[in-house]
Amino acid sequence: SYELTQPPSLSVSPGQTARITCSGDALPKKFAYWYQQKSGQAPVLVIYEDIKRPSGIPERFSGSSSGTMATLTISGAQVEDEADYYCYSTDSSGNHSGVFGGGTKLTVL
């Protein structure tokens, strides 16, 4: 079955840039989506279709994708950005199966 791979954890200081990667064989053909989940809360969409930011999401959140890797970048991370981040995509086999990466715990301190 198709898999997306993320680093389990990342730690940055406030104001630094955090880059969270997501690798998957189908990413050259399929969009990546990024979800933020704070402790005890439902996930929130922060990036869709590789690079687009929903309204209400701060500009410090951006996305990129090249080859088999998608990247979520938080420029000038804030303490309130501490959360689990999940990438999501679909495989390229023609079915409609969704898959999440394992998640990355971002610590900002």
The binding site for another protein (CB under 8 A) comprises 1, 31, 33, 35, 37, 42-45, 48-49, 54, 84, 86, 88, 90, 95-103
Minimum distance from residue 76 beta carbon to another protein (Å): 25
Minimum distance from residue 17 beta carbon to another protein (Å): 24
Handedness of CA 84, 104, 15, 17 (dihedral sign): negative
Q: Which two tokens stand for residue 14?
A: 């406030």
Query: CB atoms < 10 A from the CB of 70, how many?
Result: 29
What gap in Å lies between CA 44 and CA 60, rounded to an integer? 15
Minimum distance from residue 45 beta carbon to another protein (Å): 5
Q: Which is nearer to another protein, 21 or 48 (CB)?
A: 48
Q: Which is nearer to another protein, 15 or 54 (CB)?
A: 54
Query: CB atoms < 10 A from the CB of 10, how many?
Result: 18
What gap in Å lies between CA 46 and CA 33, rounded to an integer? 8
Q: Which is nearer to another protein, 55 or 79 (CB)?
A: 55
Minimum distance from residue 98 beta carbon to another protein (Å): 4
